[in-house]
């Protein structure tokens, strides 16, 4: 089991990053909340990780905050929720906001996350309401890097999160402003999608 990595960030293409540790490059899938706060490539990064083995695949997930890893794991204990939906939740809602939505039973807000229907949102509220309090945590990281083609990078990330291509095109078009990085576009698009 790999629980933590400390190494040099050598690549980032949402939602994937590569961290080199002792000459080995680990490819990790990360939520946008972690991606936004990563340091520039070439700098050191420390990640909490979740190692998952399913049928014929092995995936390593990375999180800058222990609270995010805790929520990722808690979400997957809910019937019908997998890694993709868990990453979509973390990419669109902070751990604290998710806790408030679950505590208040706000099904409508939860269903705005891609991959979450009404029944899944109801199960989340019922199954996580008593467990959500122990997921607090702090933040680390530095500012984002401006990529060569921010709109294409943002579109790829949004499609990976489960948004349909037509919806991605609309969200990126409406969110994009001159000089925006991919992270800026993704952040604004996710906020617009969750309204």
Confidence of residue 25 (pLDDT cuts 50, 70, 90): very high
CATH number of 4-63: 2.40.50.140
Q: Looking at residue 135, what is its pLDDT?
A: 53
Say if CB 40 and CB 147 are below 8 A apart. no
CA distance 187 to 191: 6
Domain 67-134: CATH superfamily, name plus number = 5' to 3' exonuclease, C-terminal subdomain (1.10.150.20)
% of the chain with per-residue pLDDT over 90? 43
Read off the tokens for 75.
């979400």
pLDDT score of 141: 34
Partners of 60 in beta bridges: 51
pLDDT at 45: 96
CATH 2.40.50.140 domain span(s) along the chain: 4-63
Backbone angles phi, psi at 134, to 5 degrees: -85, 20
Mean pLDDT score of the chain, rounded to an integer? 85
Specify the pLDDT at position 133.
64
Segments of the chain assigned to CATH 1.10.8.10: 150-193
DSSP string, 156-171: HHHHHTT--HHHHHHH
**Given the structure tokens 């925006």, which residue do they identify?**
180
Q: Region 79-101: what's the mean pLDDT?
A: 89
> Which CATH number applies to 150-193?
1.10.8.10
149, burial (CB in 10 Å: exposed 0-12, middle 13-18, buried 19+)? exposed
- Are the C-beta atoms of residues 142 and 39 closer than 8 Å to each other? yes
Tell me the pTM.
0.70
- Average pLDDT of the residues in 102-112: 89
Asked if 46 and 17 count as a contact pair (C-beta separation under 8 A), the reply is no
């Amino acid at each position: 089991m790999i629980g933590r990595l400390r190494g040099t960030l050598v690549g980032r293409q949402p939602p994937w990053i590569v961290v080199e540790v002792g000459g080995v490059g680990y490819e990790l899938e990360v939520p946008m909340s972690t991606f936004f706060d990563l340091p520039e490539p070439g700098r050191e990064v420390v990640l909490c990780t979740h190692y998952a083995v399913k049928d014929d695949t092995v995936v390593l997930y990375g999180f800058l905050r222990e609270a995010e890893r805790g929520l990722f794991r808690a979400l997957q204990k809910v019937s019908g929720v997998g890694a993709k939906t868990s990453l979509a939740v973390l990419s669109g809602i902070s751990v604290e906001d998710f806790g408030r939505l679950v505590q208040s039973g706000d099904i409508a807000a939860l269903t705005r996350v891609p991959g979450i229907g009404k029944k899944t949102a109801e199960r989340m509220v019922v199954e996580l309401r008593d467990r959500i309090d122990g997921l607090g945590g702090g933040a680390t990281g530095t500012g984002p890097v401006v990529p060569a083609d921010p709109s294409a990078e943002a579109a790829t990330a949004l499609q990976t999160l489960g948004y349909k291509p037509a919806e991605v095109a609309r969200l990126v078009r409406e969110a994009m402003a001159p000089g925006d990085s991919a992270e800026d576009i993704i952040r604004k698009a996710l906020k617009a999608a969750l309204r």
